[in-house]
Structure 1
Amino acid sequence: MPGLQHAVVIAAPPERVWELIADVERWPERIPTVDSVERLDAGPLAVGSRTRLRQPRLSPAVWTVTELTDGTSFTWESKQPGVTVTAVHDVEPHPDGSRLTLGLTVSGPLAGVGWLMTRSLTRRYVETEAASIKAAAEG
């Protein structure tokens, strides 16, 4: 399964980092690779929550939370014909504050072709998301 993982150490407590990563509605204010976020249901993120995300140079995608450990991590999936993208957002304590790990895997019959076409853009977006959350948490 094609994918990537990116981790960054943040000089802020895990609770602060989690607050920023779980508040997906405010991502467009904090993360330049996110144009808009529309929650498709009310309340805090929970398993089954759906969010429409628009990003530059990518088709709008609906992401559905498949796993959530409050205060620590959430995983969501977006399905397009022939491709499922799974993204993990994980926050853990670190001696210098927190470690934020973002992971992304692509599966399905068209995953290989899709990954070849979007790999470098996706890597840049994941690295930018991590750096943006770091800057917001430390700022």
Structure 2
Amino acid sequence: MAPPATRKRSPWARFTTWRRRRPFWGALILILGGWLVMRPVVGATSMLLSLGVGGVSAYVLGLGMIAAALTALFLPAQRHFPAIMAVLMSLASLPLANLGGWVVGMLCGVVGASMIFAWTPYSEAEVEKHNAREARRTSRQRAARSAKGSVAKGSAA
């Protein structure tokens, strides 16, 4: 069996590793909040023109929240400034964009941005501890498979 560094991993395992190194859930909730802020005014451009500044501000705030979430997701080292800006945009959406997406969008934005701001990456000790746990788990699984295989061979004879 190849060592863990060179062994080919499934796409789901690679995604899980990538997700654990980023403020994934906070960004996902913030994207939902930005969409909920924009959702009431998403429609035809003629509707946007009739709404005026209220419609444009909903687009600007919603897209700003989504951009902040994507920035924090793909550049986790730069997560603090986008999180602060996302909280400010979420709070500004209450009076400027249909009560902040009927308050739910504003709350999702504040919660998601707070989760992004509070997220910290794993330390080296935590990563080593996780890798050791994974190695123990795979060795137990291999031992169980080999024991199951020897029992099956013994009963067949």
The structure carrying a bigger strand percent of its residues is 1
TM-score, normalising length: structure 2: 0.27
Larger relative contact order (Cα-Cα within 8 Å, sequence gap ≥ 6): 1
Larger-gyration structure (1/2): 2
TM-score, normalising length: structure 1: 0.30
